[in-house]
Amino acid sequence: MTLDEINSRIDSTFETYPKQLRVAARYVRENPEKIAMHSLRQISDLASVHPSSLMRLVRELGFERYNEFRDPFRSWLGGEGTTMRGRVEGLRAKGKLGRMSEAVAEVFARDMSDLEATADQIRIEDLVAAADIIIAARRVFIVGFRSLYSAAFFLDYNCRMFSAKTVLIDGRGGALGDEVRDAGPQDVVVVLSHRSYSSDALKIARYARNAGSKVVSIVDSSLAPTVAISDVRLVLATSHSSLLSSVVSTLSVVQALITVIVSKLGDDAFDIMKRNEAFYRAFDTFVED
């Protein structure tokens, strides 16, 4: 069994597991490099579960012994060089050998692979459902921190081309999350989150959810923390084996979502965009040929 097959089995059966098994499964799903390197007892300590719970998960996934279970993770780690130190050392070695073009080609190859996988697994029905929630909302709070701030800004910036109801949550002045203080049932939070998951993004999503708001998650795993409280989940593929986690597939999903929103708004969006053009001309925003 390959690592991808193990992950698929976890994803398909996760909701049927009892609580301790879910804790163990989430840790396995999100920390493959640690599974490859550590013993059963060490992983149990790291995941804060009893060794018997972890061993029960191993058997649920079709393995008799932990070492057999660990083999696909070791194969994956050996092939991908997924520790940060390994990634850096690999790049240094290629640089010294004059193989930097190879390293750059690998970056593009990973991103293209992520885009292909994302295109295969993102359902049009989910994009349409997310667009409908956003269109119907009174306000759209957009949450994406650290490396995903660029994708969150991209979503907010483009939505403001045809709507004035988006709010980009960025913690300006240290007031992180104040924007959702009066969130309610007419609002929606769009949260972008990758491993390692932002605790602040999760807190904001939970607060808004408890206030009755809808939640749309754009995430890299069906086990991401916000998935359980989301009305719509857009689960994309992204590589965690390169030096830095890529946001290319996230940006692509955001762009697809914007496309669906604009298509559903039709002439209303077009009229607003025409007014925007007048604004840009008045401010001489862009360089004219």
Can you give the pLDDT at residue 99?
62
CA distance 110 to 239: 7
Q: Which domains does the chain have, with CATH numbers?
A: 3-80 (1.10.10.10), 120-282 (3.40.50.10490)
Tell me the pLDDT band of 25, cut-offs 50, 70 and 90. very high
CA distance 241 to 222: 19
DSSP conformational letter for 246 = -
CA distance 202 to 164: 25
Can you give the pLDDT at residue 105?
73
Pick 30 or 231 by higher pLDDT.
Answer: 231
Task: Provide the 3-class DSSP secondary structure of residue 165.
Answer: coil
Q: Looking at residues 26-33, what average pLDDT do you find? A: 85
Q: What percent of the chain has pLDDT over 70?
A: 88
Q: Looking at residues 238-253, what average pLDDT do you find? A: 77
Tell me the pLDDT band of 250, cut-offs 50, 70 and 90. very high
In angstroms and rounded to an integer, the radius of gyration of the C-alpha atoms of the chain is: 22
pLDDT in tens, 187-215: 999 999 988 788 999 999 999 999 999 99
Instruction: Mark out the alpha helices in the chain (DSSP H runs).
Output: 3-13, 19-30, 32-37, 40-47, 51-60, 66-80, 84-96, 100-121, 124-136, 149-159, 199-210, 248-265, 267-282
CA distance 4 to 6: 5
What does the chain come to in residues?
A: 289
Q: Looking at residues 96-110, what average pLDDT do you find? A: 68
